[in-house]
Amino acid sequence: MTIRIAIVGLGKIARDQHLPAIEKDARFELAAVASRSAGVDGVPHFTDLAELLASDVQFDAVALCTPPQVRHTIARQAIDAGKHVMLEKPPGATLSEVEDLKAAAAAKGVTLQTTWHSRYATAVAPAQTWLSGKTIKSVQINWKEDVRVWHPGQTWIWQAGGLGVFDPGINALSIATVVLPAFFLEKATLHVPENCQSPVEAQLTFRTVTGAPVKADFDFLQTGEQSWDIIIDTDGGELKLSHGGSRLWVDGVLAHEGPDEEYPGLYDAFARLIAAGGSDVDVSPLRHVADAFLLGERVTAPAFVE
């Protein structure tokens, strides 16, 4: 069965990742786009989901690629209309919003998927396999990128609920929550520009349930070489996930490398969930971010200028 899917919010992530993944997967057909500012040639275009729902365009599912601050209202519209929903990360502005969507989807009998795309990076599954049975001694996460390159002009990211540096940092946490044992935040420092509501830099200290320290350094002002690395020291050697999880190193030797299949992996999982009548709603990465905002010490940083 072909899944007719509509994209709501046609920004950079939708164009760079969702459209190619939909085109690549024969199980999906792009049925419509709902966006205030852009469309796709040859595809019905609407300004918002409400206008799409009021039309005669037939579709089965939506991929919500809007900023998280407005995602809950749109997701509820889709669920209430009986549509399956894929939530771009982060899945909502608050944990309570996602719990409400989970309950609504279950009551309506539709699929709801929280999409942690970095978990589908090609080296993450091999890393899980390698770590199985080993004792973790320490973890260092370095997730540093240039916001001006990856999020140009996206002012929503600096507003309350926009997450700031946690927008990329949550990708690291999404990997950590599947390759590590449970871990908990002990302290955090959030560097918030004087003209923003969300941090541009953060240092986090966690500890696993087995007592291993987990440290994370997130930076949104990294220039030059970008860093998306997780280094795990174990009793069986050192594992390093680099390039956002696409390369696996063991004791400095490249052990696994593959192509970027993150979003094709997400859409494959979405199609399987729909076929099985199930949902996948995991908020563990978002919970760690919420803990950082709850527990973190805020330090005023210089104003951010695009």
- Which are the catalytic amino acids? 89
Q: Tell me the angle at which helices 124-131 and 166-179 cross, rounded to the nearest 10 degrees.
A: 40
275-305 burial, b for 16+ CB within 10 Å, e for fewer? eeeebebbbebbebbbbbbeebeeeebeebe
Q: How far apart are alpha carbons 19 and 15 in whole angstroms?
A: 6
